[in-house]
Structure 1
Amino acid sequence: MIQEKRLVDEFIELVKVDSETRFEQEISQVLKQKFTSLGLKVEEDDSAAETGHGAGNLICTLAATADADVPKLLFTSHMDTVTPGKGIKPQIGEDGIIRSDGTTILGSDDKAGLAAMLEAIRILKEQNIKHGQIQFVITAGEESALRGSRAMDAKWLDADFGYALDSNGEVGAIAVAAPTQAKVFISFTGRSAHAGVNPEAGISAITVASKAVSRMPLGRIDSETTANIGRFAGGISGTTNIVVDSVELEGEARSISQDKLNSQIEAMRKACLEVARETGADVDFKSEVSYPAYMYDETAPVVKQAMASLSKVGCTPRTFHTGGGSDANVFNGLGIPTVNLAVGYQNIHSTKESIAIADLVKVAEVVVQIITDVASLPK
């Protein structure tokens, strides 16, 4: 069914197009041409004005075949990559594995998903497979904290449920739960003084911030919750004779449970306020939710359908809870039940990234099978 050479050639073509996050202009134009040439209605939203990225999100709609009054589907992948992603030189090994030349990433995250979508569309057309309406939503800025999808207006979406093609792991794995994330921004203000002449006159913001961090529950809080301080900045490089009066911290908390996330943020805030009060320092604590959580079990229609279709193409369905966010989180928040399907890529975000040709083929088969199966469902 799947044309392996055509699929691999298209994947190779896509990964050769530079598309580091924030610089999606060229890949966006390539994708517009490809989806348009396949007969889809291609629209770009206005999110780039908000995100500052090189392109907005693409909404590519394949109209239902004339006799297909069935649920509407959504598939999503992202067009951007992490760095280093310029001048990628893909190599096909004798073992059937595609890698870069070792100086860059490969970009299978997430151009494997894009290639699978395009091949699936070709198969639908070549084999006259009945299908309902399908939206292929290609996001910009996913690698920049989901910036593109977070800036998307729900008015663009018209689907009953959907699938992100953007998870690591063996094809057949389904991320049925992913956490909400909150960013934390903290600033401590103490009092400067000469560190050698009168240090007792100062209030070291570094000391205050260190004490606060030491009181925070961080790392793995429980099976559903994590927290981390990722940035700690203060003082002047090369200067050691001043009691530092200002420090800034950035961190995050994640949890599948909104209540647990709220409790974690409160614990971090409380630690900051207590230490500031004890030391006479001032503190400013802000938090903002980046994206919502989602969680399904095997009884949910979106999961049941994925498991049934995966089984039909010879995969072993397996559900799991992931600790990372994806565009699936955002689309759930926009009202489209969505889970994230494993694509099979390995060692993403590194120069050792790779994907097996067999997995590329399998993902395309899964997309076709889901579409075919959904076409037999009642609306």
Structure 2
Amino acid sequence: MEPVPLQRDRLVELFTTLCQINSPPRHEREVAEYVKGFLRGLGLEVKEDNASQIVGGNANNIVATLPANIDGAPKIFFSAHMDTVEPNPNVKIIVQDGKIHTDGTSILGADDKAGLSTILEAIRIVVENNLPHGQIQLLISVCEEVGLLGARALDFSLVDSDFGFVYDSGPPVGSVIVEAPTHDKLEVRVIGKPAHAGVEPEKGISAIQIAADAIANMRLGRIDEETVANIGIIQGGQMTNIVCPEVYIKAEARSWNRAKLEAQVAHMMAEFERAAQKFGGRVEIHHERHYEGYQLTENDLPVKVVRTAAQKIGLEAPMRKTGGGSDASVYNARGLPCCVVGTAMQKVHTHEEFVLIDDLVRGVDLTLAIIREVVAMR
């Protein structure tokens, strides 16, 4: 199968159209309708699950299927998410000198509309040119930016794929995320006792003091080369003349080494318990495994396919690890093998976010090369 030239202007139009649709977490309905219409127009079978009811949003995950037009090829999927990290209803997009960015007043939304547009354009090219392919599914999720909620709510009975590729990382295009951490979350309620701070403070127990003592004695930040921990949210107190009776804390820890993660979480919980006992208060701790980490090698099929395809079109295919999570963390944990693939998005989660048009083009070329590589596996 020979490479098919793609239309740069059409790709840019698709990407900017998606970015102009405001789609913060739990508000992806408009972009979901666009994606469904786009894929149905190409003849794909488009289904939705009931994720909106689970995550409390207005849109569901989309599972679209392009039936095979050849026999014997593995069934694969490509995945991206529709939500952006924050709203951008008045986004002003600038296309200039081979670069797409905003005027600096909002995010662009390239995370993950760079991944989404790359996948959609590649599928459009496959259909328009009747390129040989096995079955291809698209898993398009909601609420990735708020804890992978969409992927966690996905109805896996709709998925019929052997392995796949999650487009949700930055360049270089063709790079592969082969390792992601396991991530635990803590929600802590520190309970003290109120008293008038000016009249009888000795009768109170300060929840703030308990929290401060616990946090001051915790190992936080970068613990070692594999483990990090953070206190992210502290809420509490009403008035300066009241000994604070309650503090609410959200914390997390991540590690590529599960034993180290469990030791770090145990340490953090023990410090809260110790400080509460020291000052006569108590703590209620909710500990949750947010997502499981994964480790892949160059011999795992998704990695091998991406790297071989990338190298055949002249792209480097470095393997790297990440400290963040993605829908791939959920899919791998559910027994659906996949890797994260680098896309055009740069400076994500900032108002300086941008893509290079050449990187968008490379992403589509890589996707088509992956499809060719899978066909060759027959």
Fold-level match, TM-score > 0.5? yes
DSSP-derived class of the 1:230 partner: strand
Counterpart-to-counterpart distance in 1, 2:21 and 2:234: 36
Matched residue type, 1:10: L
Segments of 4+ moved more than 6 angstroms: none
What residue is the counterpart of 1:227 in the other structure? Answer: 229
Describe how 1:159-308 pairs up with structure 2 within 5 A.
159-236=161-238, 239-308=239-308
Structure 1 residue 326: Cα displacement:
0.6
What residue is the counterpart of 2:377 in the other structure? Answer: 377
What residue is the counterpart of 1:122 in the other structure? Answer: 124
2:13 to 1, 5, 9: 9
What residue is the counterpart of 1:349 in the other structure? Answer: 349
What residue is the counterpart of 2:61 in the other structure? Answer: 57
Counterpart-to-counterpart distance in 2, 1:219 and 1:196: 36
Structure 1 residue 114: Cα displacement:
1.5
Counterpart-to-counterpart distance in 2, 1:315 and 1:82: 29
Confirm or deny: 8 A CA contact 2:22 2:87 kept in the other structure: no
Counterpart-to-counterpart distance in 2, 1:193 and 1:18: 47
Summarize the Cα distance change of 1:29–1:289 in structure 2 as closer, same or farther, 3 Å threshold.
Answer: same
Confirm or deny: 8 A CA contact 2:23 2:87 kept in the other structure: no
Matched residue type, 1:227: A
Counterpart-to-counterpart distance in 1, 2:109 and 2:156: 28
Describe how 1:122-161 pairs up with structure 2 within 5 A.
122-161=124-163
Task: In structure 2, list runs of 5 or more residues that go unmatched.
Answer: none
DSSP-derived class of the 2:289 partner: strand
Confirm or deny: 8 A CA contact 1:20 1:86 kept in the other structure: no
What residue is the counterpart of 1:83 in the other structure? Answer: 86
Structure 1 residue 169: Cα displacement:
2.8
DSSP-derived class of the 1:69 partner: coil
Deviation track 1:275-318 (CA, whole Å, cap 9, x = no partner) reads: 11222111111111122111112122211111111111221111
What residue is the counterpart of 1:46 in the other structure? Answer: 50
Residue 36 of structure 2 is aligned to residue 32 of structure 1: yes
Structure 1 residue 195: Cα displacement:
1.8
Deviation track 1:115-154 (CA, whole Å, cap 9, x = no partner) reads: 1112111221233321111111100111111111111132
DSSP-derived class of the 1:222 partner: coil
Describe how 1:102-121 pairs up with structure 2 within 5 A.
102-121=104-123
Matched residue type, 1:363: G
DSSP-derived class of the 1:254 partner: strand
Structure 1 residue 59: Cα displacement:
0.2
DSSP-derived class of the 2:17 partner: helix
Deviation track 1:96-126 (CA, whole Å, cap 9, x = no partner) reads: 0001122221111111111111211122123
Counterpart-to-counterpart distance in 1, 2:123 and 2:44: 9
Task: Give the RMSD, CA atoms, in angstroms.
Answer: 1.3
Identity score, percent:
42
Confirm or deny: 8 A CA contact 1:68 1:375 kept in the other structure: no
Counterpart-to-counterpart distance in 1, 2:274 and 2:202: 21
| Range 124-133 or range 211-220, more displaced | 124-133
Residue 45 of structure 2 is aligned to residue 71 of structure 1: no
Confirm or deny: 8 A CA contact 2:27 2:57 kept in the other structure: yes
Task: In structure 1, list runs of 5 or more residues that go unmatched.
Answer: none
Matched residue type, 1:241: N
TM-score, length of structure 2 as denominator length = 0.96
Counterpart-to-counterpart distance in 1, 2:224 and 2:174: 26
Confirm or deny: 8 A CA contact 2:175 2:320 kept in the other structure: yes
Counterpart-to-counterpart distance in 2, 1:202 and 1:169: 54
Structure 1 residue 62: Cα displacement:
0.7
What residue is the counterpart of 2:311 in the other structure? Answer: 311
| Range 68-77 or range 360-369, more displaced | 68-77
Counterpart-to-counterpart distance in 1, 2:102 and 2:171: 19
Counterpart-to-counterpart distance in 1, 2:126 and 2:235: 54
Matched length? 374
Counterpart-to-counterpart distance in 1, 2:112 and 2:185: 24
TM-score, length of structure 1 as denominator length = 0.96
Confirm or deny: 8 A CA contact 1:194 1:243 kept in the other structure: yes
